[in-house]
């Protein structure tokens, strides 16, 4: 088993990564100091791994609370149901939540933990590649509102992250793609050791256990290092939003239907590379490599159907914006991002239009 330590001013915690991490860790000891433990679990994951999760919940002395998956359910109204449930189940400030599922469940359970009684501890057990390499790390938790994604949230670091790669064996190809999009992002903004792994493999070979563990370890370690430097996203952590300004706007405009997070981020990276190129930052060679890498993993072949002006309107709710200006993470070259860059709306609109032509 491999360990990555995330060091932040809010406290340190470990990411435990391995093929049987959930079985090999002494999770009973993790739960000893809490009066109650509750597992918020994706209904889909529970159906696929009921025996494993029931056994883990028993070792934690925890109750299982199933959650409907999907971005459309990651909202404040649904969270209120869980706040009432936790109160009914007598959860206190000395209780523990465990989020088990993909990025949606991790964000949602983390938000519930951050808000309930002004904050109770959370452990994340990510079950998707995207969650293992990205969303379970760094303490950003949130729910969506109609205007945009992750508008209401908090920074709430977990007690621990347990990445058991056995869960990945049951993922459909599209979910592997979602996670690959985030690893491509990490490669483009600084973890250059990921590039040979990505270029020398494809969607089939990258699922080999050893290759996948190396991919997760490098990607998660990179994010952990960035988060450790800037917990509250005041400066350098903003680079992790590369591809997400356009990506989140696409998701919210499409109401989280007919597009996955990975697909949205892939189109976001493609668009933001084009903006970087048109602003004179990125050369043709790097821009072509980005497009080729996205294409290699099945992204950016056919654009989603969207209204450029409508997506631009959703970008105005992005948290990186200052006053009325649009702010982006762009690339000077592969491995060298720049952040907080103001981009004219006309240029953004032109790039969005070119994506669907």
Give the C-alpha separation, 182 to 161, whole Å.
18
Please tell me which residue in 156, 261, 270, 320 is annotated as part of the active site.
Answer: 261
Choose the catalytic residue: 33, 77, 118, 257: 118
Cα radius of gyration (the chain): 20
From the list 175, 241, 251, 314, the catalytic residue is 241
Catalytic annotation present for 244: yes
Q: In the block, which residue shows the tokens 């009432």?
A: 84
d(CA 97, CA 248): 27
Of the listed 140, 156, 185, 277, which one is catalytic?
Answer: 140
Is 140 catalytic? The answer is yes
Is residue 2 part of the annotated active site? The answer reads no
- Catalytic (active site) residue 51: no
* Coil/strand/helix, residue 147: coil
Catalytic residue chosen out of the listed positions 44, 156, 185, 223: 223
From 182, 251, 263, 272, active-site residue:
182
Q: Which of 233, 251, 263, 272 is catalytic?
A: 233
The reply to whether 20 belongs to the active site is no
The catalytically annotated residue of 186, 237, 270, 314 is 237
Torsion sign over Cα 42, 47, 52, 53: positive
Does residue 296 carry a catalytic annotation?
no
Q: Does the annotation mark 169 as catalytic? A: no
Q: Answer yes or no: 75 catalytic.
A: no
Task: Give yes or no for a contact between 223 and 4, defined as CB atoms under 8 angstroms apart.
Answer: no
Nearest to 127 by CA among 96, 158, 95, 168: 168
> What is the rounded CA–CA span in Å between residue 142 and residue 75?
8
Contacts with 146 (C-beta within 8 Å, 6 or more apart), sequence order: none
What is the DSSP secondary structure assignment for residue 240, as one 8-state letter? G
Given the residues 244, 314, 320, 327, select the one marked as catalytic: 244
The residues carrying an active-site annotation are 118, 140, 182, 223, 233, 237, 241, 244, 248, 261
């Amino acid at each position: 088993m491999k360990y990555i330590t995330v060091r932040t001013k809010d406290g340190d915690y470990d990411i435990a990564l391995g093929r049987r991490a959930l079985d090999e860790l002494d999770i009973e000891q993790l739960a000893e100091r809490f009066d109650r433990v509750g597992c918020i679990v994706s209904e889909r994951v529970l159906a696929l791994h009921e025996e494993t999760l029931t056994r883990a919940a028993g070792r934690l002395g925890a109750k299982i609370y199933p959650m409907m998956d999907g971005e459309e359910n990651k909202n404040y109204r649904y969270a209120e149901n869980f706040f009432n449930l936790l109160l009914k189940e007598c959860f206190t400030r000395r209780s523990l939540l465990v989020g088990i599922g993909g990025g949606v469940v991790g964000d949602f359970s983390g938000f519930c933990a951050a808000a309930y009684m002004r904050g109770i501890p959370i452990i994340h057990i990510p079950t998707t590649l995207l969650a293992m390499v990205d969303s379970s790390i760094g303490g950003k938790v949130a729910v969506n509102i109609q205007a945009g994604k992750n508008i209401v949230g908090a920074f709430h670091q977990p007690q621990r992250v347990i990445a058991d790669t056995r869960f990945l064996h049951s993922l459909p190809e599209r979910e592997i793609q979602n996670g690959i999009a985030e690893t491509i992002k990490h490669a483009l903004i600084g973890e250059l050791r990921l590039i040979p792994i990505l270029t020398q493999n494809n969607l089939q070979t990258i699922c080999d256990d050893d290759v996948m563990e190396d991919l997760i370890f490098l990607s998660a370690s990179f994010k952990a290092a960035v988060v450790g430097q800037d917990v509250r996203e005041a400066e350098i952590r903003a680079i992790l939003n590369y591809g997400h300004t356009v990506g989140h706007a696409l998701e919210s405009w499409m109401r989280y239907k007919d597009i996955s997070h990975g697909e949205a981020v892939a189109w976001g990276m493609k668009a933001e590379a084009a903006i970087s190129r048109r602003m004179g930052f990125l050369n043709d060679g790097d821009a072509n490599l980005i497009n080729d890498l996205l294409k290699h993993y099945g992204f950016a072949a056919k654009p989603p159907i969207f209204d450029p002006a409508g997506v631009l309107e959703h970008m105005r709710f992005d948290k990186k914006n200052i006053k009325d200006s649009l702010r982006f993470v762009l690339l000077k070259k592969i491995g060298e991002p720049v952040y907080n860059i103001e981009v004219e709306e006309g240029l953004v609109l032109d790039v969005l239009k070119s994506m669907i032509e």
